[in-house]
Homo-oligomer: A and B are copies of this chain.
């Protein structure tokens, strides 16, 4: 039976003996900046998958892989156990955000539960900040639930421009900061400025650059570019196909309700 928010731990968090890990969230969103950076970290660092999350709040469908196998839409948590001076990481990546308004809150509660199980000492959520025009020199806009964190981030080049983002931060990247505040966990959102019209590796590399310096990790930036190109291609393909699917589903709507 699939629970409304179905959390499946593949391993006991205790086993990793993480010390003060940092929680990083990078789910789909504007310009896919957050997803691009977090997916990249999971792939470039030596990480291990530890949690799978399925949910009634994801679209009611399965995806079909190239070889014909299906998979449930899911979000995943990976663990990076550092053996250098960088902190341990717990990274949330995945396919979807909630498709209903209330589901966002349920899912974020679940993400926070996971962060607590790992005793995460800090949270970074990653996203894009769309400005609706091409951005030559992307920079990173920040928001945080904690003033010291703002000072720290500023010292790494994150900008806190008055009145931006004025519309607030929608979805998991925003709500995680708010719910973390209730638990007194310092949390910040790093938003790569982007047009918002495409998967944006340039914006992602600006976010990645800050993260690398803050977390004292090093990963290839070139690979980010390739990942974005692939992602763009897959998205274009899926977009076209989903449009077809939706159209058929709709043109078939009356049939669907046939007795």
Contact = CB atoms under 8 A, between A and B. Distances in A.
A4 to B, nearest CB: 8
Contacts of A71: 178, 181
Copy tally for this chain in the complex stands at 4
Interface of A: 1-2, 4, 28-32, 54, 56-57, 59-64, 66-73, 95-102, 104-106, 108-109, 112-113, 130, 132, 142-147, 150, 160, 162-171, 174-175, 177-179, 181-182, 189, 196-197, 199, 231, 234-235, 237-249, 251-252, 254-259
A89 to B, nearest CB: 22
Contacts of A61: 167-171, 174-175
B60 A104 contact: yes
Contacts of A142: 68
A166 B242 contact: yes
Contacts of A69: 143-147, 150
Given A64-B165, A64-B169, A234-B259, 18 more contacts: A2-B105, A28-B256, A56-B101, A60-B105, A67-B150, A69-B143, A70-B169, A70-B174, A73-B259, A99-B101, A100-B102, A132-B247, A165-B241, A166-B241, A167-B238, A168-B259, A196-B248, A235-B254
Contacts of A73: 259
Given A70-B177, A104-B60, A109-B1, A29 B165 contact: no
B170 A1 contact: no
